[in-house]
Amino acid sequence: MTRYLAGRLSVFIIAVFLLTVFSFSLNYFFPGDPITNMSGVRSFQSSYPLIMEMRGGKENIATQYMHYLHHLFTGNWGQSLSNGTPVFDDGIQHFVASMELIILALLVAVTLGLPLGVFAASRFRQGSDKAVVSLAMVGYSVPVFWLAQLMILLFAIKLGWFPITGQINPLYGVEPQTGSIFIDVFLSNSEYKAAALQDAINHIVLPVMILAIMPMMLLLRLMRNATQEMLQKPFIKAARARGLSEWRVLVKHAIPNALQAVLQQTTLLFSLMLTNSIVVESIFNWPGMGNWLIRSIFERDYPIIQSAVLMFAFVILFFNLLVELYHGWRFPIVRHEQYATR
């Protein structure tokens, strides 16, 4: 495990390092002055010479990069080109708001997708399997923005159940502090906390549902195929021949082994999730990273663009690292395959 851990961590660290190199070089790719792109201070502003000095703007590129790293790790991510607010503070809030949405959606996707996948596999090629699999195919093929429109049309406009923009009704006067709406509600000194909480829940239901559907269908299909493949394996048949109940065969042998296969494909899941979160946040005007990124692209707010990109990429790498570590810890054969053969 130590070796696996070290290997995975070192790859992660190198990847993060490459990521910082990339986001540093973005400053040169973006149109305009690199120092302005990094710091959000324009060349005619009075603080520009100071910033130039601090970021090593006159020195060679390696020194500049070191300065950039230093700023990055001390939370000094410059200021927004459009309204001058510090990027780091904004970024944290948007990050937390996004994570709230994404993690809830992931929970929904996992708790519904995996069991349904197992169910379909255990009814392989019977009516209920076909129904579930067709549903998954449909759900997986609906473009997320159209799905959002349809759901808004149905639940928000026709039925009027859920509101469609933002995290909470501004009338409750809940100040964004952490970015997570639930924590913010608790921190606020509003007199109507319970009502505010209810309102926050109403706001989050629709985006979470929409965001969860595609990953859920993906998981369902992956799990169904993996489980079905496992059920064909000799060791499963042998377990059955030994007289174990079908339930026990499924729970103790087929599902763990299928999970091992599914976990190998979670990169797909996370990248689908993040891609869709960008679109969903824009539609629902959710104050998360995706919305932030799209707005900054429109406004050519380069300090924000690179910070958002950096955060997105980091989140993906980090999620994948977590899954890989869990994978290697729970399924020793994964470690074995990676270091013992070839």
Part of the chain binding other proteins (CB under 8 A), chosen from 24-32, 83-91, 170-178, 181-189 = 24-32
**Is residue 61 within the footprint of other proteins (CB under 8 A)?**
no
* Whether the Cβ atoms of residue 182 and residue 197 lie closer than 8 Å to each other: yes
Euclidean distance between the first and final Cα of the chain, in Å?
19
Q: Give just the sign of the alpha carbon dihedral 304, 74, 325, 101.
A: negative
Q: Please state, in angstroms and as integers, the Cα–Cα distance from residue 91 to each residue in 106, 167, 194, 311, following that order.
A: 22, 17, 28, 8
Q: How many CB atoms lie within 10 A of CB 140?
A: 16
Sequence-distant (6+) residues with CB within 8 A of 337 are none
Q: Which is nearer to other proteins, 31 or 170 (CB)?
A: 31
Q: Give just the sign of the alpha carbon dihedral 327, 328, 329, 331.
A: positive
Pick from 76, 82, 169, 275: which binds other proteins (CB under 8 A)?
Answer: 275
To 5 degrees, how large is the angle CA 294–CA 305–CA 13? Answer: 120
* Whether the Cβ atoms of residue 298 and residue 320 lie closer than 8 Å to each other: no
Part of the chain binding other proteins (CB under 8 A), chosen from 42-50, 64-72, 194-202, 273-281 = 273-281
**Is residue 297 within the footprint of other proteins (CB under 8 A)?**
yes
Per-residue interface string for the shown chain with other proteins, residues 163-202, x marking contact by CB under 8 A: ----------------------------------------
Per-residue interface string for the shown chain with other proteins, residues 322-341, x marking contact by CB under 8 A: ---------xxx--x-----
Instruction: Dig out the tokens for 337 from the structure.
Output: 């395959």
Strand partners, 211: none
256 φ/ψ angles, rounded to the nearest 5 degrees:
-60, -45
Residues 86-105 within binding reach of other proteins (CB under 8 A): none
Q: Which is nearer to other proteins, 131 or 238 (CB)?
A: 238
**Is residue 231 within the footprint of other proteins (CB under 8 A)?**
no
Q: How many CB atoms lie within 10 A of CB 309?
A: 17
Pick from 5, 108, 135, 244: which binds other proteins (CB under 8 A)?
Answer: 244
**Is residue 253 within the footprint of other proteins (CB under 8 A)?**
yes
Q: Please state, in angstroms and as integers, the Cα–Cα distance from residue 30 to each residue in 18, 44, 143, following that order.
A: 18, 19, 30
Q: Which is nearer to other proteins, 54 or 236 (CB)?
A: 236
Residues 114-153 within binding reach of other proteins (CB under 8 A): 137-138, 140-146, 149-150, 152-153
**Is residue 160 within the footprint of other proteins (CB under 8 A)?**
no
Pick from 30, 48, 88, 172: which binds other proteins (CB under 8 A)?
Answer: 30
Pick from 293, 307, 327, 328: which binds other proteins (CB under 8 A)?
Answer: 293
Strand partners, 79: 86
DSSP code for 143: -
Q: Rounded distance, CA 212 to CA 272, Å?
A: 10
Q: What are the residues binding other proteins (CB under 8 A)?
A: 7, 11-12, 14-15, 18, 26, 29-31, 137-138, 140-146, 149-150, 152-153, 157, 229, 232-235, 237-244, 248, 252-253, 256-257, 260, 267, 270-272, 274-275, 278-279, 282, 293-294, 297-298, 302, 305, 309, 312-313, 316-317, 320, 331-333, 336, 342
